[in-house]
Amino acid sequence: MRWIYFGTGLLSSKFLEKLIDNRLLPSLVITGSPKPSGRGRKISHTPVFMVAHNHGLPVIETTLLDDPVIIRKIQRESPSFYVVFDFGHIIPDSLLKLPRIAPLNVHPSLLPSYRGAAPIIRAMMAGEKKTGVSIIIMNNKIDRGDIVLQEEVEIEENMTRGELEEILLDKATSLLQKAFSGLKNGTIEPRPQKGKGSYARKIQREELWINWESNAIKIKNLIHALSPLPGARSMFKDKIIQFLKARVPEDTLRLNPGEIHVKEKRLFVGTGDGIIEILMLKPSGKKEMSAIEFINGYRPHGLYFTSR
């Protein structure tokens, strides 16, 4: 069976690695065009391109999906399926009709909830207790196609997004195998999405900064939703600090928002409603470190984290 993988971002590259590890090999990979990045504006390939290239998979880099040359190449593949995950570009109708069985989209939420660009981050920021993976038939509306398969995943209390993503990618790999088989054999009947939908818009740069006037639970959710990258952040001694893991403790301390308190080798910070304990963090230009490593290296007791 021949199928084509469409993906661009880091999460998509991790999913492609999972598929390859499970011997689910696409006949062709399509990813975004290389573009300048970093301080030197060096031309960089997408994460998906690098995985495909390293595994010797045929790969096309393009954003011109309605190009007749691209269309002819896909037609020659005669794919049974597309698998689209974290691609970032609209696939035109002229391409959506080409798979012999179905164009599939893998989306890391329980659709119709959290349609859009940042479903995992938005769900965690909102303090959701569960999320999941949905495999849908793609159409020309964003994340609105009929559901092929869907499975729920619990979001544990102190789980980071990186930890949750690993679980979701494993689940997505298993579901995709079932979707291929069920659609090919006619044992799965896609069903329309039901219920009120919600939209997970892309994270904006200003949302990365912690507002210490907010409540402790909201700050903890933000830290875990943005961990390990891009990282919820604050300023400390004119340096950016990224926060990677935290918890809301039972300890009772009266601290001002952003005020740092060290007690029994633990790192507490005041919020607008209670306190939060920082467990892992990363100063700019340094490796990630535990709270005690930060305490020993920076002597922060009585100082403040600030939003800018």
CATH number reported for the structural domain that contains residue 274 in this entry: 3.10.25.10
Instruction: Give CA 243 to chain center in angstroms.
Output: 17
pLDDT top residue among 15 and 140: 15
Determine, yes or no, domain membership for 195. no
My answer on whether 15 and 98 are in the same domain is: yes
User: How many folded domains does the chain comprise?
Assistant: 2
Please give the structure tokens belonging to residue 109.
Answer: 């939420």
Residue 140: give the domain boundaries: 3-185
Question: What mean pLDDT is predicted for residues 252-258?
Answer: 95
Please give the structure tokens belonging to residue 81.
Answer: 């399926």
What rounded mean pLDDT belongs to the chain? 96
Cβ proximity of 130 and 155 under 8 Å: yes
Question: What mean pLDDT is predicted for residues 85-95?
Answer: 93
DSSP label at residue 208: G
Please give the single-letter amino acid code of residue 197: G
Question: What mean pLDDT is predicted for residues 255-272?
Answer: 97
Please give the single-letter amino acid code of residue 146: D
Q: Based on the number of CB atoms within 10 Å of its own CB, is 221 exposed (0-12), middle (13-18) or buried (19 or more)?
A: buried
The pLDDT of residue 40? 73
The pLDDT of residue 36? 84
Determine, yes or no, domain membership for 99. yes
My answer on whether 99 and 38 are in the same domain is: yes
Determine, yes or no, domain membership for 305. no
pLDDT band for 111, please (50, 70, 90 cuts).
very high
